[in-house]
Amino acid sequence: MLRWCEKMKMIRTKVVAVFLTAILLSYAVAVLPVIAATQTPPDPITVIKTGVDQVIAVFNDQQMPLNRRREKLRSMSLGYFDFESMAKSALGYHWRELTPAQRAQFVPLFTEFIQDAYLSKMEQATVEKIREEAQTANVQFLKQTYFSSDYAEVFSTVALQDHKDPLQVNYLLHQQDRQWRVYDVTVEAISLIGNYRNQFNRIINNDGYSKLIADLQAKREQLREYMDQEARNSASH
């Protein structure tokens, strides 16, 4: 996760990271209302545009406790991000080397690691700052490109008031059961899954698959402990 974190440092503020988290998770809240309203599945860009507005509403709910906000976004993301495809891609050719039991272990562990890595950035003070940023942020959806009938990419930019240049944020999606699901996101041409693939490949080649699992489990516990403490601090104020 080092290169991804370095990129976030270049972006400079935690607010930007969390605003991007909102956009990354926004896809989850868009799908059900849109599909329920029409028999024709929405196209990828419509789904994501709708979701951005709806996820900001989660942040604008000032009565929602920090822990509840995190868990709401977590449960939304489970249904609409294709974490299994993301997990396979993150392991690359090593996925073929895993036993069925190892695959069954890795997918949920990877899913929780990804979720916690972003949700842990949602400290109460940062959530409050996001409400302010959302008032002036300019999210532009530029176009969508289809690779086939079931694969597409949505191109967008995110301009924040305190940052000179807009960020290029693109979504890679595929369609399953009439539902578009995200399987990768790029920020400034850096692939989230490609970044993890490079790191995971290095760990497995140097120290073995068991070392990767141990590292992910340890990081997950560290993030969970941090989030629990933040939630307790938020509730006491």
Residue spans of beta strands (DSSP E) within the chain:
138-148, 151-159, 167-176, 179-187, 190-191
Residue spans of beta strands (DSSP E) within 54-108:
none
Query: What residues contact residue 36 under an 8 Å CB cut-off, 6+ apart?
Result: none
> What pLDDT, on the 0 to 100 scale, is given for residue 32?
44
Q: Regarding the domain delimited by 2-230, which CATH topology (the fold level of the hierarchy) does it fall under?
A: Nuclear Transport Factor 2; Chain: A, (3.10.450)
Residue 105, H or E segment: helix 100-119
Q: Which is nearest to 172 in space by CA: 197, 199, 198, 190?
A: 190
Angle at 97 between CA 92 and CA 100, to 5 degrees: 105
- Crossing angle of helices 2-11 and 192-207, rounded to 10°: 140
For the stretch 189-206, pLDDT in tens is: 999 899 999 999 999 999
Query: Rounded distance, CA 135 to CA 140, Å?
Result: 14
Domain boundaries, the chain: 2-230
For the stretch 88-145, pLDDT in tens is: 999 999 999 999 999 999 999 999 998 888 887 766 556 666 666 666 778 889 999 9
For the stretch 9-39, pLDDT in tens is: 444 444 455 555 555 555 444 444 444 555 6
pTM here?
Answer: 0.80
Angle at 233 between CA 228 and CA 237, to 5 degrees: 145
